[in-house]
Structure 1
Amino acid sequence: MRTVLVLMDTLRRDALGCYNPEGAAQTPCLDAFAQDSVVFDNHWIGSAPCMPARRDIMCGRYNFLERPWGPVEPFDVTLVDGLRAGGTYTHIATDHCHYARTGGEGYLQLFNTWELFRGQEGDPWVSRIDEPNNMPETFYGRVREQYQKNRGRWPREEDMPSPRTFRAACDFIDENAQDDDFFLMVEAFDPHEPFDVPDTYMELYGGSDGLDRDYFEIPPYKRVSDTDIPDSAVDYVQRRYKALVTMTDHWFGTLVDKLKERGIYEDTMVLVTTDHGYFLGERDYLGKNYMHLYNELAHLPFIVHFPGGARAGERAGQLTQAIDIMPTVLEAHGCPVPPEVCGASLMPLVTDAEAPTRDYGLFGVHAMTVNVTDGRYTYFRAPVPGNQPCFEYAAIPHTIRHKMGTECPDEIECGRFLARTNYPVYKIPCRKPANIDQREDCLEEVHDSLLFDLAEDYGQTHNLVGEDAAAEEHMVALLRRGLIEHEAPREQFDRLGLEPVEDAR
């Protein structure tokens, strides 16, 4: 069995023609791939943002209920460990720079072999002390000096990190096409910001029309109305995002072409998805993390080419999430699914279009709202005022931008606090969500609980909390059930204003 998992960071669902024929980016390669595959219409975010989503994939269970952004933990039972135990060769090619920073440890090292292409975002790669000579004089949003240094290292499109990632994946296929048992993970940082894309792709979307400054590639994580960014610049960055999606689509196409060239496309399982979406001015938002997880962030693309082209061109309405990838790949390779895994294998869908998956999905950012969907309704449960009690649980207390508990070391406990393992972990008071760093009140945008009926209101504009008592009661009960079944720490019930239950730990 051969499996290729392609993860494109920040790939919005509505950017793909197979989901949004009107107004999508130009994605001919992904659209053609969708014709050969099953397109999942009800795929949802789990833990957000980047590294929490990857731990969901690797462990088959939610990260966000226990901790924020962080490494693979010593007690984690992972997808790659299971594959390697069964004799499957594993390799990852990626330019996801967060694997090389504090809080991203342990993921790459799971694989038999791995390649990391440097330079994305603020990756401390090019060691030039002086300011680079390509700093823009005028700009909207943010400019990273380190990225400006890095980007000087790729004079051609094919030298950029995400194209190099896809090229490396093609090299792996060339070298190993004769092998019938491998797992290849291809992880492109694009189309994540900065939206750095050659002019040839921008010309497909109107070039630099509407931009009255030199640079706008990194939006601030703020409301548009709280910035000096005019509508014309918002339109420009939306077009710039689409241009980067088109470039990423092109390089994805080279990978599919290579699989076909080597004669292994038909009997290879290829899964394509993302970790989260992004706001590009919709609802007055730019960026991610600090707002409710509306559909722009949470309703994700997921396209699977099953071996033999099974069910090619069909749509699947079953509810799915990233935690389902681990059991799917393990079952496809004939490996046992560990009992710790909470995801559902999708392999039954190969032969049975009506096979069940799950009837709800939880999702969220640690220490923010906890959200649930049943595929029709989305319910965002806001924390109580003060957002307490709230803790981070970790054996390795690293997270994005800092180490956990440095401001309250005398309050940290250590013990066997997680139901699924006897491995001792730190229990660290959390007073500020780790992923929120550009505002004083981290929860100012999520003080209220929200309920939406997607069948009638996909745009999520009409809050049904207090209006539809039956739907609200149903979703609250589903949320409580989810917290219990996924072994959420007991204080999550208190933090969310839910009556605790005896079997919650």
Structure 2
Amino acid sequence: MRRMTHALLILVDALRADHLGCYAGEDRGTPNADALAGEGVLFRNAVSQASWTRPSTASIMTGLYPSQTGLGGKWNRTREGRLRTRTLDPSIPTLAELVTAAGHATAFVGGNANLKPLFGITRGFTHNMWRSTSDGAVAAEDFERWLLAERPESSFCYAHFMDVHNPMPAGTIPARLDTGLDLSLVEESSQELMNYYAAAVRRADEHIGRVVRALKRARTLEETLIIVSADHGEELGEHGGMLSHGRTLYRETLNVPLIVRLPGGAFAGEEVYEPVQCIDFFPTVLEQLGCPPADVPGRSILPLIRGEEADGGAAFSEYLKPHRYGQSVTTRRHQYVQDYLLEETRTGSPDDLRPGVCVAVKGQPIRGGRFMATKVLIEDPEDEPTLSGVVDGVEEADGSVTVMGIAFEVDGATRFVTNDGSALSLGALEAGDHVTVDFATGPDGLRTATKIRRKAAGGKSKIWGPIEEARDLGAGLRSVTVLGMDVLIDGNVKVRALKNGNREERRESPVERVLAGDFIEVGRELYDIENDPLEARNIVDERPDVAQQLEETLALWTESLEGRSRTTTGDVDVDPETMEQLRLMGYVE
């Protein structure tokens, strides 16, 4: 007869380790997590394998690194405005599948849209209770109801709480995760935003307490391995981002809390300073439940707790963007980061901005009918011109709409849709609406809208089209005219350019490209995380010995990924409901 045993994984989305009292060394209003730390083992150097939810949770549920799951990238938007993204390949077994196959009950509760069954990360749970909510109380209630109704003999449950991911009372500003929250779009100061974050951490702690109380009511607490952690951390201004993640590999987004309470409270009060990885949760749960081990790079942390292993080795993390690939290795004292600029893009310059060149410019309108750029990308000249911004006015009788000072004719062929794909009419638009306009310019110079899509308010505006005129204004300031609007570009704005056409034409994995030397340049950063936990000073030039050693460590790790890194998995068109859920979380505009 199999012994009664359980494993519970609690992930608090975007939770920083330093916001729990047990890590901060002071009262942070988190008594439930602190109590578990007192009854369990506290890991001071736990590292996520990615700095945003989809790749990090995919690594946790497969025991593989992001490049091995193929889920490191984000979204591709079709010309019709739909999202297309990758799902977890069915050939990759998930933790839930292995545990279920071994005869244990399995359950998932949570609300992050990245964890919908659509994407495959939570594949294999016999009870998948995903809900579209950021209120962790709902997930805690679902767990309590399932546990007390089912009372399984042995089980694995994964609870994902979203309170900290969306800490602002008024909701999320769209696209904040890519660039950080634009403080000009909110009324709160940086300190007020951090207060919101701290309050959300306290709410999440209440849900942890409710879950533990449910285990006590079910009389399974002393037979349960409890892992409390996060999928990633959060930027709070350390490196230029506020309430953002997924864009860097700095400590604030990778160093996650890790509290492990063993059955019976074994090894209570112990602390571990050696690095461990979130992919280690996979083999840890398998060992706890007596399941056969799996061939994955993650390793169980139970031998480390029992003192059967001397150290946790090194921890590795990755990120992937269309033009960049980042790697990080963390040891007990140092973090070393390498950032590769891949071949699809090259660093452009203001001199590249000439008449006839097609650009995609993100930024915001300013006084005088002008536009201040924050990002400029030289695009494929065959792409249709597009404008994304706020409606100034609608003339239904004349059949025209004006967006950011640019007028468009509307005819019977113009399509009107909402962000979720529902039909719309010109009369339903009004000043202040945020829209995206696709259009064509006739021989008479008039612009006719081919499609107008109303979006939610907020986010950056965008102009996408050919440069009509370029001027050097002096003092590092340039002006280009796009779609008849003057766009100002100062010396701090980075200009990037696609190389050899569409960024999606190349399908090799970033690992293969790094090993082949197929990149333009590589940036290197080294931080002493013991003495500089906020990573304010890059010491790569001061400590070339450490940098070289960790660069060699990364090279060996990269070689170990060769042949196991995936460039393709199953693709899926994201439905309008899921698109809206992702938008509310800040993942898409």
Q: Give the TM-score taking structure 1 as reference length.
A: 0.69
Give the whole-Å Cα distance in 2 for the aligned partners of 1:382 and 1:418: 11
Residue of 11, 16, 20 corresponding to 1:12? 16
Give the whole-Å Cα distance in 2 for the aligned partners of 1:491 and 1:185: 26
Asked if residue 116 in structure 1 is aligned to residue 130 in structure 2, the reply is yes
Asked if residue 371 in structure 1 is aligned to residue 328 in structure 2, the reply is yes
Classify the secondary structure of the residue corresponding to 1:450.
Answer: strand
Answer with 1 or 2: which has the greater Rg.
2
Would the aligned equivalents of 1:360 and 1:372 in 2 still touch at CA under 8 Å?
Answer: yes
Asked if residue 61 in structure 1 is aligned to residue 61 in structure 2, the reply is no
Give the whole-Å Cα distance in 1 for the aligned partners of 2:504 and 2:341: 25
Which AA in structure 1 matches 2:319?
V
Please name the residue that 2:300 is paired with: 345
Q: Which residues in structure 2 correspond to 1:224-373 (within 5 Å)?
A: 227-228=183-184, 233-289=189-245, 291-339=247-295, 341-352=296-307, 355-356=309-310, 358-367=312-321, 368-373=325-330
Give the whole-Å Cα distance in 1 for the aligned partners of 2:546 and 2:114: 39
Q: Which residues in structure 2 correspond to 1:208-223 (within 5 Å)?
A: 215=170, 218=173, 220-221=176-177
Q: Which residues in structure 2 correspond to 1:118-157 (within 5 Å)?
A: 118-120=132-134
Q: 1:105-126, CA deviations, whole angstroms, 9 ceiling, x for partnerless residues? A: 2233411111122244xxxxxx
Bigger mean CA deviation after superposition, 285-294 or 295-304? 285-294
Asked if residue 174 in structure 1 is aligned to residue 177 in structure 2, the reply is no
Q: CA deviation at 1:221?
A: 4.3
Q: 1:373-398, CA deviations, whole angstroms, 9 ceiling, x for partnerless residues? A: 12211111021474679xxxxxxxxx
Would the aligned equivalents of 1:37 and 1:314 in 2 still touch at CA under 8 Å?
Answer: yes
Would the aligned equivalents of 1:10 and 1:191 in 2 still touch at CA under 8 Å?
Answer: yes
Give the whole-Å Cα distance in 1 for the aligned partners of 2:343 and 2:95: 37
Please name the residue that 2:407 is paired with: none
Which AA in structure 2 matches 1:314?
E
Give the whole-Å Cα distance in 2 for the aligned partners of 1:67 and 1:488: 16
Please name the residue that 2:537 is paired with: 462
Distance 1:240 1:472, change over 3 A: same
Would the aligned equivalents of 1:162 and 1:248 in 2 still touch at CA under 8 Å?
Answer: yes
Give the whole-Å Cα distance in 2 for the aligned partners of 1:100 and 1:305: 28
Classify the secondary structure of the residue corresponding to 1:370.
Answer: strand
Give the whole-Å Cα distance in 1 for the aligned partners of 2:250 and 2:51: 13
Which AA in structure 2 matches 1:166?
A
**Structure 2: 5+ residue stretches without partners:** 74-85, 347-419, 421-500, 514-518, 568-589
Classify the secondary structure of the residue corresponding to 1:228.
Answer: helix
Residue of 25, 44, 47 corresponding to 1:44? 47
Classify the secondary structure of the residue corresponding to 1:364.
Answer: strand
Number of equivalences: 387
Higher relative CO (CA 8 A, sep ≥ 6), structure 1 or 2?
Answer: 1
Classify the secondary structure of the residue corresponding to 2:280.
Answer: helix
Distance 1:67 1:112, change over 3 A: closer
Q: CA deviation at 1:249?
A: 0.7
Please name the residue that 1:394 is paired with: none
Would the aligned equivalents of 1:195 and 1:218 in 2 still touch at CA under 8 Å?
Answer: no
Please name the residue that 1:131 is paired with: none
Distance 1:114 1:225, change over 3 A: closer
Would the aligned equivalents of 1:216 and 1:237 in 2 still touch at CA under 8 Å?
Answer: no
Distance 1:386 1:322, change over 3 A: same
Which AA in structure 1 matches 2:155?
F
Asked if residue 107 in structure 1 is aligned to residue 121 in structure 2, the reply is yes
Would the aligned equivalents of 1:72 and 1:105 in 2 still touch at CA under 8 Å?
Answer: yes
Distance 1:408 1:489, change over 3 A: farther
Distance 1:452 1:167, change over 3 A: same
Would the aligned equivalents of 1:27 and 1:246 in 2 still touch at CA under 8 Å?
Answer: yes
Q: CA deviation at 1:277?
A: 0.8
Give the whole-Å Cα distance in 2 for the aligned partners of 1:450 and 1:373: 12
- Identity of matched residues, %: 26
Would the aligned equivalents of 1:328 and 1:344 in 2 still touch at CA under 8 Å?
Answer: yes
Distance 1:357 1:325, change over 3 A: farther
Classify the secondary structure of the residue corresponding to 1:87.
Answer: coil
Please name the residue that 1:86 is paired with: 102
Which AA in structure 2 matches 1:41?
R
Give the whole-Å Cα distance in 2 for the aligned partners of 1:164 and 1:230: 28
Distance 1:410 1:293, change over 3 A: closer
Q: CA deviation at 1:465?
A: 1.6
Residue of 18, 22, 25 corresponding to 1:21? 25
Distance 1:269 1:373, change over 3 A: same
Give the whole-Å Cα distance in 1 for the aligned partners of 2:505 and 2:46: 39
> What is the root-mean-square deviation in Å for CA atoms of aligned residues?
3.4
Please name the residue that 1:190 is paired with: 163
Bigger mean CA deviation after superposition, 267-276 or 366-375? 366-375
Please name the residue that 1:382 is paired with: 339
Which AA in structure 1 matches 2:333?
R
Give the whole-Å Cα distance in 2 for the aligned partners of 1:490 and 1:165: 34
Which AA in structure 1 matches 2:143?
A
Give the whole-Å Cα distance in 1 for the aligned partners of 2:181 and 2:159: 37
Distance 1:312 1:258, change over 3 A: same
Q: CA deviation at 1:217?
A: 5.3
Distance 1:116 1:343, change over 3 A: same
Q: Give the TM-score taking structure 2 as reference length.
A: 0.60
Please name the residue that 2:484 is paired with: none
Would the aligned equivalents of 2:30 and 2:205 in 1 still touch at CA under 8 Å?
Answer: yes
Would the aligned equivalents of 1:12 and 1:277 in 2 still touch at CA under 8 Å?
Answer: yes
Q: CA deviation at 1:455?
A: 2.6
Q: 1:313-338, CA deviations, whole angstroms, 9 ceiling, x for partnerless residues? A: 11122321111011011111111122
